[in-house]
Amino acid sequence: MAVKLKKLKNQTIVITGASSGIGLVTARMAAKRGASVVVAARDEASLRKLVEEIKRKGGKAAYAVADVGKEEDVRRIAQTAIKEFGGFDTWVNNAGVSIYGMIEETSIDDMKRLFDTNFWGVIYGSRIAAKHLKNRPSKEGGAIINIGSTLSDRVVPIQGIYSTSKHAVKGFTDAFRMELEMDDAPISVTLIKPAAINTPYPQHAKNYMDVEPSLPPPVYAPEVVAETILHAAENPTRDAFAGGGGKALSALGQYAPRLADTIMETSLFNSTQKRPDKPARRNRRNGLEGATGTLKERGEYPGHVAESSAYTTATLNPLSTTALVIGGAGLAIAAAYAFGNKGNGNTPSRSS
């Protein structure tokens, strides 16, 4: 079935993990463009403040306090959307937690807790969303958008368990999409794979290292991901990279896996995933163990942040005759950077 999706201004969108980073930017952007938004996270104070902000600016919003690792909480999100807006058209599984640490040093309990959010939260959300979207009397098209990662394709050390969870999200999303297509369900299922994004992700991670974690360049603004999400809400999209650097890393891992391993184990591991000038802050709050929502869109990355991605813009526009040219240029820039950068925190002056 060819799925036809509503224009954003006519939609109700559910967004999990909406109290910071990508989820927060997406919620604000969707509301500004006329969508009704249902925001979900664990911190009620942040959600209440966000909804008040959106309404004050003339938008429509409601919130549900939820830990997506608990199926009953995810059901409450759907019930809130139905109660407040009569249902929903797009469901964005964005909530996620992270761990920086060697696999042998990470506790099994922490690994399980991460999977509760990153993997089972996506399954709960996708199944609940699909049931609602399949049973709407109008048979209108709807969208399920799962936020994976570049690490859905290519794992990195120190974030091994996080990478593993995103591999699982990719596998689930691909399987679920095919099953819905077999059922001729009017649902578009999208996997979005962000590159390194300047959100509070490192600050909210549980950190086993003795230094503060950072992001490996090139690093992109969260708006790059939000634009990709909202594009998929209106246009059926199988998958998309948010940031050309992510595509470059994925391609390197696919076509030259041993070379990718070497890069990960040397320059990326030693120079860009750690900040030796910042000892780890012990006993800090982290998202794995509790809510950390503070309505912060961006993190503390000290280097250049690309505010746009020519590669992503081109690939989301299938009518663009320059898509392959721009995409290839983006990959070349990112690949060259991966080989030449020594972890100085700078990225190319143009976006890819």
The string of pLDDT tens digits covering residues 156-166 is 989 999 999 99
Residue 309: strand pairing partners: none
Nearest residue to 132 (alpha-carbon basis) of 172, 190, 171, 74: 74
Nearest residue to 141 (alpha-carbon basis) of 184, 101, 86, 188: 188
Give first-to-last CA distance, the chain, whole Å: 34
Distance between CA atoms of residues 291 and 44, nearest Å = 9
Distance between CA atoms of residues 276 and 290, nearest Å = 27
| Residue 162 designated active-site | yes
> Encoding tokens for residue 134?
């399949």
Query: What's the pTM value of the predicted model, to 2 decimals?
Result: 0.90
pLDDT at 340 over 60: no
CATH dotted code for 8-340: 3.40.50.720
63, 100, 124, 162: which is the annotated catalytic residue?
Answer: 162
pLDDT at 82 over 60: yes
Distance between CA atoms of residues 192 and 7, nearest Å = 20
DSSP 56: H
Within a 10 A sphere around the Cβ of 350, how many other Cβ atoms? 11
The string of pLDDT tens digits covering residues 48-69 is 999 999 999 999 999 999 999 9
For the ranges 102-116, 207-221, 271-285, 305-319, the maximum mean pLDDT occurs at: 102-116
Helix (H, G, I), strand (E, B) or coil at 190: strand
> Encoding tokens for residue 93?
């599984």
Q: CA dihedral defined by 212, 297, 245, 260, rounded to 10 degrees?
A: 30
Phi, psi dihedral angles at 87 (to 5 degrees):
135, -160
- When pLDDT is averaged across residues 263-276 and rounded to a whole number, the result is 66
H or E element, residue 21: helix 21-32
Between helix 108-115 and helix 160-182 the angle, nearest 10°, is 30
